[in-house]
């Protein structure tokens, strides 16, 4: 007959065998989870669920150290709410988790209520004075680097000792180390992309603020006021204007002045793509939808969800694509090319064109019903020839822009050069002016843009009516240069002919002859204080 001591020993051995089987079962389950081809976050959550089920822990968490921010945050957890998880952010050395990250040594806190360094920042362990909780934290290592912690807390008095739980957590931490390392790298990359996206959005918002749509003319003030009224609505906007007037700038201003400014601004030039791929660009396509569609791709409407889509040159769309666009505007839904799933979109649509859409309707190349859907709020951007008073502001803006880009210190533009800009008719509008100033900034050698730095098409248009247009192109450009040098010298000399002649290396008689040739009155160059009343 077995003695009571032998029976107790047999019982203990049986319990040990049972516990060993449980531990092996746990480790086998963890191994199986890691080998699955699931997303890393799903794998880590499944591991925590296994630990909770087999070890009887109340809560299990995985905290990961972000090397870019220097913060430790709970990335996966069980037995903890999303709100509690979001509060679990620490610095290295802060709290138990921070000390484990800093030291690389595991920690067992037998009673968290009596441990001042247990911060309970998540608030998950409540009523610390009424129940005894044990907290166990072990480091997760990638080589010699500490990349995170595996944490568990449980009520005291469980069959499995805290030391046994710590041992199992350390084994688990070693098993999931590679998955956590991948999670860490992925999370840091996402964090970087999020921060970079926010930075770029801030730059775009600043770049396309009202101050950067340059203009104080009456017609532009009307545009600014109108944009302010319509920005924070959901209505479709049709921006009309000649090529180069700045229609995209106006579209961006509408977006960044609206409540959607933190959401995407996605643009598409409808004239830049052939009809065969424009539908795919707008609505996306499924894998295998056509030759070359090796992967599923989201279209511009999906990418712009919650924000604004800007469709430039809308008049270039084929009738087939116009029909599908009309459905999106009416129903706010579409299917990807080759797909059957109907997708919803919350997008503010802004379109632009330099065409006469009403004439296109009469010609049968543009749908009338689509036109009325697009033309809910029309905005007309005036051509540069109707806002010439803005030319000096635009010129100064472009001089600063291209001076910085090309590392050139250009301080001003000469009066004759400005006269040339005012006398030109600007068929290419602001885009043409921008190109002219970029060209001039690059050529400037004395911190001033002169008339001869401007393109030949502008140099032919001299403000001095006495210069014959019958002269050859070479003589006209020589006259233009001479005119400009005399004007600059007279301005510099405050209208003093003798000083101007000295600056140019001419006699008083010679400069007088040339001033007469160009109908220049030297008295007009005198400052008010030197003008006799």
* pLDDT at site 360: 95
3-class SS of residue 428? coil
The domains of the chain, with CATH numbers, are: 17-187 (3.30.450.40), 208-382 (3.40.50.300), 386-530 (1.10.8.60)
Q: Where are the alpha helices (DSSP H) in 257-390?
A: 275-283, 300-303, 319-331, 357-363, 368-374
Residue 136's alpha-carbon distances to 32, 61, 80, 154, 170, in angstroms, are 24, 11, 16, 9, 10
The pLDDT-based confidence of 466 (bands split at 50, 70, 90) is very low
Residue 23's SS3 state is: helix
In order of 44, 50, 70, 222, the CA distances from 40 in angstroms are: 6, 16, 22, 55
**φ, ψ of residue 327 in degrees (nearest 5):** -65, -40
For the cut 80, the answer to whether the pLDDT of residue 16 exceeds it is no
Give dist(CA 307, CA 299) in Å, integer.
14
Q: Which helix (H) or strand (E) holds 432?
A: helix 429-443
Output the pLDDT for position 373: 95
List the single range of 7-11, 23-27, 399-403, 500-504 with lowest mean pLDDT: 7-11
Q: Highest mean pLDDT: which of 31-35, 199-203, 267-271, 514-518?
A: 267-271
| Calculated CA dihedral for residues 121, 123, 125, 131, nearest 10 degrees | 110
Mean pLDDT of all residues in 359-363: 95
Residues 366-384 as b/e (b if ≥16 CB within 10 A, e otherwise) read: bbeebbebbeebebbbbbb
The residue-averaged pLDDT of 440-458 equals 86
Residue 456 to residues 27, 459, 464, Cα–Cα distance (Å): 81, 5, 17
Structure tokens at 292: 């070359």
196 in helix, strand or coil? helix
Beta bridge partners of 303: none
Q: Encoding tokens for residue 258?
A: 């609206």
CA distance 454 to 472: 18
Rounded distance between C-alpha atoms, residue 493 and residue 526, angstroms: 8
| 239-278: b (≥16 Cβ within 10 Å) or e | bbbbebbbbbbbbbbbbbbbebbebbbbbbebeeeeeeeb
pLDDT of the residue at 374? 95
How confident is residue 533, by pLDDT bands cut at 50, 70 and 90? very low
Q: Which helix (H) or strand (E) holds 73?
A: strand 72-78
Q: Are 26 and 54 in contact (CB under 8 A)?
A: yes
Evaluate if pTM is beyond 0.95. no
Higher pLDDT among residues 200 and 411, named by residue: 411
Closest CA to 78 of 111, 121, 42, 106: 42
Supply the pLDDT for residue 248. Answer: 93
* Number of H-type helices and E-type strands within the chain: 20, 17
Q: Which of 27-31, 132-136, 331-335, 480-484 has the highest mean pLDDT?
A: 331-335
Other CB atoms within 10 A of residue 501 CB = 22
d(CA 351, CA 38): 42
Residue pair 434/398 in contact by the 8 Å Cβ criterion:
yes
């Amino acid at each position: 007959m077995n003695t009571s001591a032998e029976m107790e020993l047999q019982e203990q051995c049986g319990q040990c065998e049972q516990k060993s089987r449980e531990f092996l079962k746990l480790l086998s389950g963890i191994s199986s989870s890691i080998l699955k081809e699931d997303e890393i976050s799903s794998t880590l959550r499944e591991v925590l669920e296994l630990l909770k089920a087999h070890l009887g822990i109340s809560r299990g968490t995985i905290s990961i150290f972000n090397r870019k921010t220097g913060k430790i945050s709970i990335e996966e957890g069980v037995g903890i709410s999303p709100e509690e998880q979001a509060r679990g952010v620490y610095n290295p050395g802060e709290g138990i988790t921070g000390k484990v990250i800093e030291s690389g040594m595991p920690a067992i806190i037998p009673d968290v209520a009596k441990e001042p360094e247990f911060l309970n920042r998540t608030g998950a362990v409540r009523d610390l004075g009424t129940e005894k909780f044990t907290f166990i934290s072990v480091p997760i290592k990638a080589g010699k680097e500490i990349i995170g912690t595996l944490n568990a807390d449980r009520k005291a008095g469980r069959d499995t000792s805290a030391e046994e739980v710590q041992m199992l957590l350390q084994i688990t931490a070693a098993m999931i180390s590679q998955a956590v390392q991948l999670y860490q790298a992925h999370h840091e990359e996402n964090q970087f992309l999020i921060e970079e996206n926010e930075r770029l959005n801030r730059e775009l918002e600043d770049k396309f603020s009202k101050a950067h749509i340059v203009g104080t003319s009456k017609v532009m003030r009307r545009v600014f006021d109108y944009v302010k009224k319509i920005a924070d609505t959901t209505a479709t906007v049709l921006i009309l204007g000649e090529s180069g007037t700045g229609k995209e700038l106006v579209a961006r201003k509408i977006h960044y002045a609206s409540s959607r400014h933190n959401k995407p601004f996605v643009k598409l030039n409808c004239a830049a793509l052939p009809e065969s791929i424009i539908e795919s660009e707008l609505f996306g396509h499924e894998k295998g939808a056509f030759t070359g569609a090796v992967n599923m791709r989201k279209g511009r409407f999906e990418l712009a969800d919650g924000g604004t889509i800007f469709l430039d040159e809308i008049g270039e769309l084929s009738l087939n694509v116009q029909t599908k666009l009309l459905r999106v505007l009416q129903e706010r839904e579409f299917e990807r090319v080759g797909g059957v799933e109907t997708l919803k979109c919350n997008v503010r649509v802004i379109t632009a064109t330099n065409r006469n859409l009403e004439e296109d309707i009469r010609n049968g190349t543009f749908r009338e019903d689509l036109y009325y859907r697009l033309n809910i709020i029309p905005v007309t951007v005036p051509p540069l020839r109707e806002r010439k008073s803005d030319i000096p502001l635009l010129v100064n803006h472009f001089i600063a822009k291209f001076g910085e880009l090309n590392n050139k210190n250009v301080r001003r533009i000469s009066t004759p050069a400005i006269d040339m800009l005012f006398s030109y008719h600007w068929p290419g509008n602001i885009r043409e002016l921008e190109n002219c100033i970029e060209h001039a900034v690059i050529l400037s050698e004395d911190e001033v843009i002169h008339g001869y730095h401007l393109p030949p098409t502008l140099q032919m248009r001299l403000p001095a009516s006495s210069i014959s247009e019958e002269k050859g192109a070479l003589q006209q450009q020589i006259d233009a240069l001479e005119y400009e040098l005399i004007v600059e010298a007279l301005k510099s000399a405050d209208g003093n002919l003798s000083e101007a002649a000295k600056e140019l290396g001419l006699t008083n008689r010679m400069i007088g002859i040339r001033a007469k040739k160009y109908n220049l009155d030297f008295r007009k160059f005198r400052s008010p204080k030197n003008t006799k009343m």
